[in-house]
Structure 1
Amino acid sequence: MKYLLYYEYLIRLNTSLKKQGAKIAKYVGILCYLFQKTICIHFKTCHIIIFSDICSTFAG
């Protein structure tokens, strides 16, 4: 009886950890997506600014 209760506890613990792991993975995925989007926008903006500075330097 004692082993059955322990086994059931382990099954419930494993299920709980899987659910928590899925939640954590979902949030990490969302944060990585937002971070990547922010970094890409930042680099595109900086690249445009640098390119426009170079053009204005050559034009001036």
Structure 2
Amino acid sequence: MGSAAKVAELRRVLQAEGFPTAELIRLRGPTRVIINSRTPEEIAVSVAAELITVRNAAPEAGP
């Protein structure tokens, strides 16, 4: 959540604080689910959809 500019600024701040680039690459935002709405309920659903998308795209853990 938040604008792409806000996420870029957060990356700059974290990099200045010494966070490794590999970790900064993992930072995501805003959600990539386009809902054209601003109600809290619909935003919550879009965040949940983003979480499910990321989880399902991750390689499965071993046995």
* TM-score, scaled relative to structure 2: 0.34
* TM-score, scaled relative to structure 1: 0.35
Larger relative helix fraction:
1
Specify the structure having the higher radius of gyration (Cα).
1
The higher-RCO structure (CA 8 Å, 6+ apart) is 2
